[in-house]
């Protein structure tokens, strides 16, 4: 069974790079049936960003890539922007922790301004290290995370959260952290989720599942909100990592082939969850991609 007519097919988290495949990867996504990408910014340079202008160039590069994808691949792109939290460690080593934090905080304010201007739909990725770091770096990252949540609160936008894999106790703590900062747990998305937990165990945090075959089969009965993502890196040194950009539409097609009832469940990650978390629905004009 083909993908349903009029249904958006959404990869909730990916990256593209001028040094990688860029639009070619997006064309592959579209050819497989994909229609919408949430495109997260990244550091495109060889070294850490150390000034606000460095971060501004990162955001501008992401925006140019997104507009190019829309124009040349016919895929709708939603931007997710923020200074990548782990880069704060390298910046701290280069210019000192306070100067690094000041630039990082300014970049978070810039990301918030982009959301207010409707140039982006969320702050991300923000969060904690996914590997052990020394106590001073942990403290610096925690200050940055607090600032990120304050910006998201003031702007009223979702947060795309980066960290190592989380256990139920971690989700409970993250939800409490969000509420204390004034951000509803339901507007915090744990990207790169690799294990299914119950709704209660998520404590209101929204998972964005890595679209591996077995995990997709496991989570698809869940009521939502939840998303599917590839976390495609577009890194020439790691071709196809983390998952190829065509993966989500291929998973959706396999799901749809199981029958109409299963096909209808595709609305959960691709329409209903976007509406619940981001406040809009991905729209299609003219049905499936040509």
How much is the pTM?
0.95
Q: What is the pLDDT of residues 157-183, one digit of tens each?
A: 999 999 999 999 999 999 999 999 999
206-210: strand order across its sheet: 10-14, 36-40, 76-81, 122-127, 159-162, 188-193, 206-210, 227-229
Domain boundaries of the chain, sorted by first residue? 10-278
Please determine, for residue 96, whether its predicted confidence score (pLDDT) is greater than 70. Answer: yes
> Rg of the chain over CA atoms, in angstroms?
18
DSSP string, the chain: -PPPTT---EEEEE---TTS-THHHHHHHHHTT--EEEEE----SSS---SHHHHHHHHHHHHHHHHHHHHHH--EEEEEE---TTHHHHHHHHH-HHHHHHHHHHHHHHHHHHHHTTS-SEEEEEE--SS---HHHHHHHHHHHHHHHHHHHHHT--EEEE-S---HHHHHHHHHHHHHHT--GGGEEEEEE-S---HHHHTTPEEEEE--HHHHHHHTTS-S--EEE--B---TTSTT-SS-TTHHHHHHHHHHTT-HHHHHTTHIIIIIHHHHHHSS----SSSS--
Give the mean model confidence (pLDDT) for residues 38-47: 94
Q: Give the CATH architecture of domain 10-278.
A: Alpha-Beta Barrel (3.20)
Please determine, for residue 288, whether its predicted confidence score (pLDDT) is greater than 60. Answer: no
Q: What is the pLDDT of residues 238-269, one digit of tens each?
A: 988 999 999 999 999 999 888 877 788 999 99
Burial class (CB within 10 angstroms; exposed 0-12, middle 13-18, buried 19+) of 236: exposed
Q: What is the pLDDT of residues 105-142, one digit of tens each?
A: 999 999 999 999 999 999 999 999 988 888 888 999 99
Q: What is the pLDDT of residues 54-77, one digit of tens each?
A: 999 999 999 999 999 999 999 999
How many other CB atoms are found less than 10 A from the CB of residue 54? Answer: 18
């Amino acid at each position: 069974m083909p993908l349903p007519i009029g249904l958006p097919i959404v990869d909730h988290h990916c990256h593209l790079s001028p040094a990688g495949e860029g639009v070619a990867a997006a064309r592959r996504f579209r050819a497989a049936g994909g229609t919408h990408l949430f495109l997260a910014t990244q550091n495109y340079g060889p070294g850490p960003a150390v000034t606000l202008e460095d971060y501004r160039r990162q955001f501008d590069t992401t925006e140019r890539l997104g507009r190019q994808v829309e124009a040349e691949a016919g895929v709708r792109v939603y931007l997710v922007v923020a200074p990548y939290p782990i880069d704060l460690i390298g910046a701290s080593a280069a210019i000192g922790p306070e100067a690094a934090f000041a630039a990082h905080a300014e970049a978070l304010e810039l990301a918030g301004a982009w959301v207010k201007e409707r140039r982006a739909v969320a702050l991300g990725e923000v969060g904690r290290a996914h590997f052990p770091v020394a106590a001073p770096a942990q403290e610096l990252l925690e200050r940055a995370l607090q600032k990120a949540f304050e910006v998201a609160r003031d702007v009223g936008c979702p947060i795309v959260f980066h960290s190592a894999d989380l256990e139920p106790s971690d989700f409970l703590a993250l939800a409490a952290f969000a509420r204390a900062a004034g951000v509803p747990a339901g507007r915090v998305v744990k990207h790169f989720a690799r294990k299914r937990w119950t709704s209660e165990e998520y404590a209101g945090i929204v998972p964005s599942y890595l679209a591996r075959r077995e995990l997709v089969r496991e989570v698809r009965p869940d009521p939502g909100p939840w998303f599917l993502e590839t976390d495609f890196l577009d890194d020439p040194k790691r071709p196809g990592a983390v998952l190829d950009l065509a993966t989500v539409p291929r998973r959706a097609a396999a799901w749809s082939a199981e029958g109409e009832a299963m096909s209808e469940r595709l609305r959960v990650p691709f329409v209903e969850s976007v509406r619940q978390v981001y406040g809009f629905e991905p729209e299609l004009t003219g049905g499936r991609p040509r």
